[in-house]
Amino acid sequence: MNINWDISRIDIEKVKKIVTKNENPFLRARQLRNVEKQNIVINKDRIIKTMIMCLLTSQQRSGPNSSVGQFLRLEPFPITIKNLASVNNVEGFIKDTLQQSNLTRYVNRISSFFASNYVKIVEKNWTLINDLEELKISDSKIKERNIADNLANDFNGFGPKQARNFLQALGLTKYEIPIDSRITTWLNDFGFPVTLTSSPLGDKGYYHFVSDGIQELCEKAEIYPCLLDAAIFSSFDNDEWTEENTIF
């Protein structure tokens, strides 16, 4: 059974309007990285930082001036492959590091998820890098979705949303986006054909359904989904994004 998405000229104008209205440094950075594929770096430290970002942002506010945002902009960043290789207890190291930056919400859960995922990656000899490198040169919706679904299955603390957040933050995806409460709120106001809530998005099939609708809408508007995501996301942050506080 197929779904026919009926997209009107008014729908297309709504998409174009929010993107135009939110042409800020955050959206411009997304354009350069995810669409134009500029300055994409795939290495162990980048993967580690992106994973901790995903685990943190799944549990708490992550705007540019939030505690999470400030932590992710630390230079040098305290969680590196060198530091992880030198400790006996990865989970304890992550917990201590987060607490030192006053990131205490769900810190036990986040530290446990990170440690288990890190062990999996190391045990597989970082073959994840090969999968990610494929996306650097790909323009395939199917490949983006398949790799995102695999990450959601493999990583603890991830689901469909954070798997896509991970790939998008690395600059590797244009079509598959992290659908969170900001996106569902905007889609409901927009007039999505079914009322959306965040909780069913943990189901892969439901997530694909919503993602298909977004991709159809963006294709008609000639705007990549990753740019619509950036526009919607930043529209909730009251123009807080600047060149200096844009993280990923």
Domain boundary among 102, 125, 148: 125
Domain identity same for 10 and 66: no
Domain that holds residue 24: 1-39+127-248
Q: What is the pLDDT of residue 238?
A: 62
Domain identity same for 11 and 96: no
Domain identity same for 159 and 45: no
Q: What is the pLDDT of residue 198?
A: 84
Q: What is the pLDDT of residue 162?
A: 96
Q: What is the pLDDT of residue 248?
A: 54
Residues 6+ apart with CB under 8 A from 217: 5, 7, 11, 12, 15, 228
Domain identity same for 146 and 161: yes
Q: What is the pLDDT of residue 244?
A: 44
Q: Report the number of distinct structural domains present in the chain.
A: 2
First to last CA, the chain: 38
Domain identity same for 49 and 64: yes
Q: What is the pLDDT of residue 67?
A: 87
Q: What is the pLDDT of residue 245?
A: 44
Domain identity same for 90 and 146: no
| Counts of helices then strands in the chain (DSSP H, E) | 13, 0
Q: What is the pLDDT of residue 246?
A: 53
Q: What is the mean pLDDT of each run of 10 residues along the chain (248 residues)?
A: 82 97 93 95 97 87 78 95 96 98 94 98 96 92 97 96 97 96 94 91 95 97 97 79 49
